[in-house]
Amino acid sequence: MNANKKALLFCVPLIGLALIGVERFSHNAAPEIGMNDTRQNDRMIIDMAGRKIKIPDSTNRISALHPVPCHMVWRLAPEKLISIDKQFKERFSFLSSNAVKDLFQLPVTAEFHVGVSREQILKIKPDIVISLSKDPNLDKEQTDFLVPVVATSKNSLDDYEKSWRFIGELVGNAKEGNELADYWHGVLTKVTSMTSKIPDKKRLKVYFAQSNINSTVGNRTIMASIIRSAGGINFYDVNPLTAQHEENESIVTPMEEILQWNPDVIITCTGRGRDEILLDPKWATINAVRNKRVYASLNFERLDGIPCLLGLVWTATTLYPDIVKLDFEKETKTFFSKIFLNDRITRAQIYEERN
């Protein structure tokens, strides 16, 4: 059994913040929480969308509108999570109801921060609502929900690291939030210490194909961040793109532009997409196809969501197997033992349910 298959025995399909402070928001600063001279029991924070938000000093009821912040709150303060994202719940479905009974009973309030019900939010009465910086309705939701709506981000591997610190402070568990962020940073540094030495002329051009294989990702997305950190060149890192599409995770790209760029490697988000590319004669002249370098990302180490750190390890070892020497099975075990487990689910339960 190869390392990837062994890794599945220890994995869970789980999808899977900025700086909090009173100073001007910076994507490069370390997160911190600060107090302003506001009314009693309030504090002012800067979220990952750069918005100054006043939140209660004590946040004991938290609603999350996306699987990434939903997972982070669940990992750091499960008792404070009062609603969940639909995708977050579905990715726990392999576990028995006894293992996550309380989690399954929580109301589902959104799916990727879309389809949020104002009436439901008002009914469950959260202290704060957490969404993403790319949520186009942030300010409207804050008005409609009558509670602070805080934005996090998942646009890069660095954003995930900052998010662990951000949410750790937000939920009153800065210790574990910082520990997980430090672990995240350590894995990223371990990979980039190897890939950063690859000369520019030897870096591989990588096309990431979404379910629609002619759709790829902008340069300010987690997928592009992973490809760069893994030593590759993302399509829209070097091809023209308007600023409004930089965070877009599904940009329809003309076939002639893909052919002209001629990627060295293609990574698809599904096995079906990989097979479609390999069977379609329009793609046959591309170097990636000719050299048999078309790969479907693994189901449990994808290039998006909470498992994206494993997606980085997989991508780097796939692109440069002679340069990036990592024990994928070991990295997988460590990841899930740190990022997935909390006091509601034990390691034994994971292994029992997966087996």
Per-residue pLDDT of 176-221, as tens digits, reads 999 999 999 999 999 999 999 999 999 999 999 999 999 999 999 9
pLDDT average, residue stretch 130-144: 87
Q: Is the model's pLDDT at 82 over the cut of 80?
A: yes
Does residue 206 contact residue 288 with C-beta atoms inside 8 Å? Answer: no
User: What does the mean pLDDT of the chain come to?
Assistant: 83
Contacts of 291 (CB under 8 A, 6+ apart): 264
Q: How far apart are CA 27 and CA 298, in angstroms?
A: 30
Q: Do domains 3-186 and 200-322 have the same CATH topology?
A: yes
pLDDT of the residue at 350 = 45
pLDDT of the residue at 345 = 53
pLDDT average, residue stretch 291-310: 89
How many CB atoms lie under 10 A from the CB of residue 202? 9
pLDDT average, residue stretch 326-342: 85
pLDDT average, residue stretch 251-267: 97
Question: Angle, to 10 degrees, between the axis of helix 222-229 and the axis of helix 157-170?
Answer: 120
Q: Is the model's pLDDT at 343 over the cut of 90?
A: no
Q: How far apart are CA 213 and CA 342, in angstroms?
A: 37
Q: How far apart are CA 126 and CA 190, in angstroms?
A: 39
Tokens 């504090």 -> residue:
43
What is 200-322's CATH number, 1.10.3210.10, 3.40.50.1980, 3.90.1150.10, 3.30.565.10? Answer: 3.40.50.1980
3-class secondary structure, 68: helix
DSSP string, 165-215: HHHHHHTT-HHHHHHHHHHHHHHHHHHHHHHTTS-GGGPPEEEEE-SSTTE
Tell me how far apart the 2 most distant CA atoms of the chain are, in Å.
67
For 219, the token pair is 């340069």
pLDDT of the residue at 342 = 55
Does residue 88 contact residue 154 with C-beta atoms inside 8 Å? Answer: no
pLDDT average, residue stretch 254-278: 96
Tokens 């939140």 -> residue:
55
Q: What phi and psi values does residue 349 have, to the nearest 5 degrees? A: -65, -40
pLDDT of the residue at 40 = 53
Just give the CATH number of 3-186: 3.40.50.1980
pLDDT of the residue at 240 = 85
Domain boundaries, the chain: 3-186, 200-322
Half-sphere exposure of 155 (CA within 13 A, CB side): 18
pLDDT of the residue at 25 = 31
Question: What band does 302 get if pLDDT is binned at 50, 70 and 90?
Answer: confident
Q: What is the pLDDT of residues 218-250, one digit of tens each?
A: 999 999 999 999 999 999 999 988 888 898 999
pLDDT average, residue stretch 128-145: 88
Q: Is the model's pLDDT at 22 over the cut of 70?
A: no
Q: How far apart are CA 37 and CA 204, in angstroms?
A: 52
Helix (H) or strand (E) holding 288, with range, is helix 287-290
Q: Which residue has the higher pLDDT, 42 or 104?
A: 42
For 257, the token pair is 């532009």
Which of 14-18, 65-69, 304-308 comes out lowest in average pLDDT? 14-18
Question: What band does 100 get if pLDDT is binned at 50, 70 and 90?
Answer: low
Q: Is the model's pLDDT at 103 over the cut of 70?
A: yes
Which of 19-23, 67-71, 140-144, 252-256 comes out lowest in average pLDDT? 19-23
Q: How far apart are CA 327 and CA 310, in angstroms?
A: 11
For 172, the token pair is 């009153």
For 66, the token pair is 């996306």
3-class secondary structure, 127: coil
- C-alpha separations of 118 from 37, 66, 80, 123 in Å: 31, 16, 20, 9
Q: How far apart are CA 210 and CA 286, in angstroms?
A: 17
pLDDT of the residue at 156 = 95
pLDDT of the residue at 155 = 92
